[in-house]
Amino acid sequence: MTARDHIAVGLAKIGMVLRSHAWRQAEATGLTPTQAQILVHLVRRGPARVSALADEIAVSQPTASDAVAALIRKGHVEKRADPDDGRAAKLHAKATAKRTVARMEVWPDALLEAAHVLDPIEQSAFLKGLTKMIRTLQVSGAVPVQRMCVTCQYFRPNQYPGAAEPHHCAFVNAAFGNADLRLDCGDHVEAAAATQEKAWARFNRASA
């Protein structure tokens, strides 16, 4: 087996931990993992259309529609007219949804503890590697668009070559290192394609 195969095996094992955690949460909350993902999205990011939810959690629209119908039946979600388009509807989380999400553990303790055993240099290298893999998966269409630094209009990779914190975020106007690269940032704004390509080339410079 090659190093690539070993990495894939390792990621599959981490995926097992996440899947088993998702099903435990499902048992505790009475929701399926897909319903739970939709509920977390609506509570944390606000109202959305079914099509946007399907894109966000990488399921088909019929699957998202079924999960939404179940969430409406369970009293967690309601449909309201979309103020931007009178013919469309957006889904809104109800108070019960917010209470349910507040009770959920987003990440399994075992996974957080496993990440904690990495020292700061290992965490930094791991996060940079994950960023590169997830960006590649996004470009190939294998995962939905991610709100990550490397696609953000505020990202200035390797603005300070050789520094411990080589990158710059123009949104908060501060330097940061690979250990602080975001994979899901609420302040993310998608950069134009040409800007992303330039940033990607600069991010991959060996000096970082």
The footprint of ligand SF4 (CB under 6 A) covers 149, 152, 154-155, 169, 171, 182, 185, 187-188
Closer CB to ligand SF4, 185 or 208, in the complex: 185
Closer CB to ligand SF4, 71 or 155, in the complex: 155
Closer CB to ligand SF4, 100 or 151, in the complex: 151
Q: How far is the CB of 181 from ligand SF4 (least distance, A)?
A: 7
Between the alpha carbon of residue 40 and those of residues 15, 29, 37, 152, 158, the distances in Å are 19, 12, 5, 23, 34
What is the rounded distance in angstroms from the CA atom of residue 163 to the CA atom of residue 94? 47
Closer CB to ligand SF4, 114 or 174, in the complex: 174
Q: How far is the CB of 73 from ligand SF4 (least distance, A)?
A: 36
Q: How far is the CB of 65 from ligand SF4 (least distance, A)?
A: 31
Closer CB to ligand SF4, 29 or 195, in the complex: 195
Are residues 147 and 188 in contact, defined by beta-carbon separation less than 8 angstroms?
yes
Q: How far is the CB of 50 from ligand SF4 (least distance, A)?
A: 26
Q: How far is the CB of 139 from ligand SF4 (least distance, A)?
A: 17
Quickly tell me which residue has 């000096």 as its tokens: 207
What is the rounded distance in angstroms from the CA atom of residue 129 to the CA atom of residue 168? 19
Closer CB to ligand SF4, 25 or 146, in the complex: 146
Q: How far is the CB of 176 from ligand SF4 (least distance, A)?
A: 7
Selection from 6, 85, 83, 70 nearest residue 38 by Cα: 70
